[in-house]
A = this chain, B = another copy of it.
Amino acid sequence: MAQEKEFVRAITPQSEDFSRWYIDTITKADLMDYAPVRGCIVFKPDGYELWEAIQHELDRRFKETGHRNAYFPLFIPESFFEKEKEHVEGFNPELPWVTEVGGEKLEERLAVRPTSETVIGYMYSQWIQSYRDLPVLINQWANVVRWEKRTLPFLRTSEFLWQEGHTAHATKEEAVEETMKMLDVYTEFVESVLSIPVIKGQKTPSEKFPGAVATYSIEAMMKDGRALQAGTSHYLGENFAESFNIQFLDKDNERKYVHTTSWGMSTRILGALIMVHGDDRGLQLPPKIAPIQVMVIPIGPQKTRDRVLPAAQDLVSALRNANIRVKMDDREDYSPGWKFNEYEMRGIPVRLELGPRDLDAEQVTIVRRDTGEKLTAPIDLAAKKVAELLNEIQQNMYDRAVAFKNDRSRSANNIEELETIVRTEHGFALAGWCGDDACEAKVKEVTGATSRNIPFSPPEHMDTCVNCGKPAKHTVWFARAY
**Which has the most chain B C-beta neighbours within 10 Å: A70, A110, A119?**
A70
Contact B101 A98 (CB under 8 A): no
Give the contacting residue for A123; candidates B42, B93, B161; CB below 8 A: B42
Contact B95 A37 (CB under 8 A): no
Contact A80 B36 (CB under 8 A): yes
Number of identical monomers bound together in the oligomeric complex: 2
Nearest Cβ on chain B to A267's Cβ, whole angstroms: 9
A80 neighbours in B (Cβ, 8 Å) = 36
| Chain A interface residue bracket vs B | 35 or more
Nearest Cβ on chain B to A248's Cβ, whole angstroms: 17
* CB-CB under 8 A for A102 and B92, given A69-B52, A77-B36, A119-B35: yes
Contact B69 A49 (CB under 8 A): yes
Nearest Cβ on chain B to A338's Cβ, whole angstroms: 15
Question: How distant is the Cα of A95 from the Cα of B69 in the complex, in angstroms?
Answer: 28
Is there a chain B Cβ closer than 8 Å to A40's Cβ? yes
Contact A45 B70 (CB under 8 A): yes
Is there a chain B Cβ closer than 8 Å to A112's Cβ? yes
Question: How distant is the Cα of A71 from the Cα of B143 in the complex, in angstroms?
Answer: 10
Contact A71 B161 (CB under 8 A): yes
Give the contacting residue for A143; candidates B41, B68, B74, B94; CB below 8 A: B74
Name the CB-closest residue of B to A67. Answer: B45
Question: How distant is the Cα of A75 from the Cα of B146 in the complex, in angstroms?
Answer: 13
Nearest Cβ on chain B to A50's Cβ, whole angstroms: 11
Interface residues of A (CB under 8 A from B): 33, 35-37, 40-45, 47-49, 51-52, 68-77, 80, 92-103, 110, 112, 119, 122-123, 126-127, 138, 142-143, 145, 147, 159, 161
Other than A40-B75, A75-B96, give 13 A-B pairs with Cβ distance below 8 A. Answer: A33-B127, A35-B73, A35-B119, A37-B73, A43-B70, A49-B69, A74-B74, A74-B143, A75-B145, A93-B103, A96-B100, A96-B101, A98-B98
Can you list 26 A-B contacts (CB < 8 A)?
Answer: A33-B123, A33-B126, A35-B119, A35-B123, A36-B77, A36-B119, A36-B122, A37-B75, A37-B76, A37-B77, A42-B72, A43-B70, A44-B70, A45-B69, A45-B138, A49-B68, A49-B69, A71-B161, A74-B143, A74-B145, A74-B159, A75-B159, A93-B102, A96-B101, A97-B98, A98-B98
